[in-house]
Amino acid sequence: MGTCIPLPADLQKVIEVERLVKEISSRETALHVLVNNAGAGWEVGIDKQPVCPASRLLQTH
């Protein structure tokens, strides 16, 4: 059995992506599985959501 290592990062920020790559590279020689669990959503129905936050949500997921 392998090991699952949670490495949270905001993938919309280049510096976070670079940090994540360094962290993975320091631990492993290859990445076999990546689970992206984006944490973005909205508080109102889609019919009341402004376009800008809705676009960001779709880009995140």
3-state SS, the chain, equals: CCCCCCCCCCCCCHHHHHHHHHHHHHHCCCCCCCCCCCCCCCCCCHHHCCHHHHHHHHHHC
| Structural domain count, the chain | 1
Residue 18, both tokens:
């670079």
Residues of the chain under the 50 pLDDT cut: none
- Decide if 5 is inside a domain: no
- Decide if 27 is inside a domain: yes
Q: Which domain holds residue 48?
A: 14-60
Predicted model pTM: 0.57
The per-residue pLDDT for 35 is 82
- Decide if 56 is inside a domain: yes
The per-residue pLDDT for 24 is 93
- Decide if 7 is inside a domain: no
The per-residue pLDDT for 19 is 96
The per-residue pLDDT for 57 is 65
The per-residue pLDDT for 39 is 64
- Decide if 25 is inside a domain: yes
